[in-house]
Amino acid sequence: MTTIAIIDYGGSNLKSVYKALDSVSSKKINVKVSSDVKEIVNSDKIVFPGQGAIGNCMSQLKKTGLGRKIENLCQTKPFLGICLGLQSLMRTSEEDNGTACLNLIEGEVKRFKKPSNISGENFDKIPHMGWNNVYWEKKHPLMEGIPSGTRFYFVHSYFVKPKDPELIVGKTNYLGEFTSSIGRENIYATQFHPEKSSAAGLQLLENFVKWDGAS
């Protein structure tokens, strides 16, 4: 039986991720939420979800010891990061007065900024919240059956800027163009929430369940 571990580091959004993954998994797939390092390490696939602030996320990863394990997990198993699960892979984040992240992917997490040439309330609100289009920059197994321009659900005030543009799988427009998904070898991560994105999100999660980690 294949085991998919959803990392519980003390953050939120675990129940909805579990329910969505479980709904697209066969009886041969065991989906579990776990904070046990040994149990996570011994699983076949890893999902790293998250909502909230990066400072607390990194503090909890350090406290639980999961932060030290994630680098190895990213090198050896199919890995899906969602929202903070994407941002935490970068080197640094502007959030919480500057936060050191896991530095697994060279890049930064930047905050959306109101355009300087726009005044008053006539501008897109921060955080970016709601449905928006994701346009594919290249093919990836997790995008199978999902057309470019499909709408996914977002909730965030920060976005990633990977140093290597070849890692960018999807882009979205909000206060300018930003990276909304990345892929490298057995790692795939999204700024949007597939578990909240109706049929398209479930298709992505089903693709992950079937994915062997090859790009």
pLDDT at 51: 81
In single-letter form, the type of residue at position 63 comes to: K
pLDDT at 75: 83
DSSP secondary structure, 79-144, as one string: EEEETHHHHTTSSEESGGGSEE---SSSEEEEE----TT--TT-S--SSEEEEEEEEESS--GGGT
pLDDT at 132: 98
Active site residue 101: no
pLDDT tens for the 215 residues of the chain, in order: 999 999 998 876 799 999 999 999 999 999 999 999 899 999 999 999 988 899 999 998 888 888 888 888 888 899 999 999 999 999 999 999 999 999 999 999 999 998 776 665 656 789 999 999 999 999 999 999 999 999 999 999 999 999 999 999 999 999 999 999 999 999 999 999 999 999 999 999 999 999 999 87
Catalytic residue, candidates 74, 137, 140, 195: 195
**Residue that has been written with the tokens 């700024």 in this structure:** 191
What residue ranges define each of the domains in the chain, with the CATH number in brackets? Answer: 2-210 (3.40.50.880)
Active site residue 83: yes
| Cα-based distances in Å from 120 to 63, 64, 111, 130, 177 | 43, 44, 19, 22, 22
Closest CA relative to residue 30, chosen from 47, 13, 16:
47
**Up-side HSE of residue 99: CA atoms within 13 Å toward CB?**
23
Catalytic residue, candidates 101, 128, 193, 206: 193
- Count of all residues that appear for the chain in the document: 215
Q: Is 82 exposed, middle or buried (0-12, 13-18, 19+ CB in 10 A)?
A: buried
Catalytic residue, candidates 57, 74, 83, 101: 83
